[in-house]
Structure 1
Amino acid sequence: MPIQISAQYVKELRLKTGAGMMDCKKALQESEGDFDKAVENLRKKGLASASKKAGRRTTEGIIESYIHAGSKIGVMVEINCETDFVARRSEFQELSRNIAMQIAACPLVEYVDIESIPTNIVKQEKSIEMSKEDIVNKPEKVRKQIVEGRINKKLSELSLLSQPFIRNPDITIRDLINQNISLMGENIQVKRFVRFLLGEGSEQSRQHFSEEVANMIKS
């Protein structure tokens, strides 16, 4: 006989994962009330669900904008879904807002995902890393392993979907989108984005404004 799960416990799991109420209740029953295990199981199911929807066409959506306090940094991002009905849902609009704020807070991010990074950029980064003095005298196999690790880290820094979500660093932006795909039942994709920074070109200004955004979000 399934164990009894309180409605509050189910609600907490739903808020954390974005899964449906019945799915959350079932996950908690299957994990015998183990919250972390239930989260893990739902994420696995959510990711599988998102993967099945990934090939669907996304011709609807919204263009979200975010202007940081002081009007010195701004973001525009296009988030696509399958239907206008989902595009008008408050959850979809909240997701779009969160992604826009994430972009504002991540000055190193230049591409939607790692797959979008041009091959010539990857080759250039590999060439630079292979020539660095701290590994030049190491065995070839070791050098390649070190470079591979550094390149993966660099590409992740450039990729929006690889970023830890600023409101919950335990998940990435990709995880956040997959949770919303599971919640809303449609494919959701970040199409493109652009960041505007007053006096762009100053690295000090970039760091200053990204810290301001992060601090504002935490407050």
Structure 2
Amino acid sequence: MSISAAQVKELRDMTGAGMMDCKAALKETDGDLEAAVDWLRKKGIAKADKKAGRTAAEGLIGTASQGASAVVVEVNSETDFVARNEAFQEIVRNIAAVALTTDGSTEAVAAATYPGSEKNVADTIKDAIGTIGENMSFRRSAKLTVASGAVATYVHNAVSDNLGKLGVLVGIETTGDAEAARAFARQVAMHVAATNPLALTPEEVDPVAVEREKAIFSDQARASGKPENIIEKMVEGRLRKFYEEVVLLKQSFVINPDLTVEQALKEAEKEIGAPAKLTGFVRMALGEGIEKEDTDFAAEVAAAVKS
């Protein structure tokens, strides 16, 4: 039988499922609306879409590496309980593995085929919502590659191999010993996890952030009543201090605070056996930037009792 657009729209309004899913449900049930709702629920599709409005700020960060490339991904869930679920952890591992086969962009990973399936990552996540029972989302991914050398990975608060609450990638280019380079880059990754630098070099710091700091320093210096030429030197000094705080290469190395990261890199070259250069880093913390809903549990219980 033919299914009208009005029928599809009505089912979509009732369940929140996608247009194609609604059309398939109506075809399978010969246009019976109630049966179509049940068909969607059995498939987990209506359930998934109903849950999709709930905030998913928990979950896991996953990393994977191969050769001179590494990736980090974030997959969110509503609760930390689900993040400890082995099925969820396997999904994050597989998405990280898939990310290695792409350019690492979030869009490319979402569209890539999930291992052992004909579906892409985005659709696999949607199916898993119905199976696991709460809202989940593949939020983002990033990839680092070097021409020669290594990309080290580090996961903080690990719950399993390469899975945790915070992931870092650090790229190091060298023609020397790749494993020695990776070992040093991993130390730098641990440093990045601890200090959260804004940029690798002073030149890469957001100009807006630099101008904001300069304006603050200038106002503070002028308040002291010093002449303009002295103010200029004071601002330069404060700006150097600012870079030491937020620029990776200028920061004191957490492994050896007597050295900056830049100086530690020079020392590491002896072990690596050739000049080495840090090319970039990615630091991904679980849930950063997600506005979590504040829930009043007592109010929820009271509302449930009244209803």
Q: What TM-score do the two structures reach when normalised by structure 2?
A: 0.41
Residue aligning to 2:262: 174
Matched residue of 1:186: which SS? coil
Residue aligning to 1:130: 218
More strand by share: 2
- How many Å apart are 1:134 and its aligned residue? 6.5
- How many Å apart are 1:120 and its aligned residue? 5.0
- How many Å apart are 1:122 and its aligned residue? 3.1
Matched residue of 2:288: which SS? coil
8 Å Cα contact 1:136/1:143 also seen in 2: no
CA distance in structure 2 between the aligned counterparts of 1:69 and 1:103, rounded to whole angstroms = 14
Q: Check 1:196–1:118 CA distance in 2 against 1; reply closer, same or farther (3 A cut).
A: closer
More helix by share: 1
**Greater relative contact order structure (CA < 8 Å, 6+ sep):** 1
CA distance in structure 2 between the aligned counterparts of 1:92 and 1:192, rounded to whole angstroms = 14
Q: Check 1:135–1:145 CA distance in 2 against 1; reply closer, same or farther (3 A cut).
A: farther
Residue aligning to 1:96: 185
CA distance in structure 2 between the aligned counterparts of 1:196 and 1:177, rounded to whole angstroms = 23
Deviations 1:129-150 (A, max 9, x none): 2123773633212322221111
Residue aligning to 2:104: none
Does 2:157 match 1:64? no
Percent of aligned pairs with the same amino acid: 31
Deviations 1:24-80 (A, max 9, x none): xxxxxxxxxxxxxxxxxxxxxxxxxxxxxxxxxx83011211110242211112111
Matched residue of 2:226: which SS? coil
Residue aligning to 2:281: 193
Amino acid at match of 1:173: V
CA-atom RMSD in angstroms: 2.4
8 Å Cα contact 1:75/1:195 also seen in 2: yes
Deviations 1:150-170 (A, max 9, x none): 111111212111111112111
Residue aligning to 2:202: 114
Matched residue of 2:250: which SS? coil
- How many Å apart are 1:119 and its aligned residue? 4.7
Residue aligning to 1:73: 166
Q: Check 1:133–1:72 CA distance in 2 against 1; reply closer, same or farther (3 A cut).
A: same
Look at both structures and tell me which one has the larger radius of gyration over its CA atoms. Answer: 2
CA distance in structure 2 between the aligned counterparts of 1:72 and 1:111, rounded to whole angstroms = 21
Matched residue of 1:161: which SS? helix
Structure 1: gaps of 5 or more residues? 1-57, 203-219
Residue aligning to 2:241: 153
Structure 2: gaps of 5 or more residues? 1-145, 159-163, 291-307
Residue aligning to 1:144: 232
CA distance in structure 2 between the aligned counterparts of 1:118 and 1:173, rounded to whole angstroms = 20
CA distance in structure 2 between the aligned counterparts of 1:121 and 1:174, rounded to whole angstroms = 22
CA distance in structure 2 between the aligned counterparts of 1:123 and 1:185, rounded to whole angstroms = 40
1:22-61 equivalences under 5 Å are 59-61=147-149
1:192-211 equivalences under 5 Å are 192-201=280-289
8 Å Cα contact 1:130/1:136 also seen in 2: no
Q: What TM-score do the two structures reach when normalised by structure 1?
A: 0.56
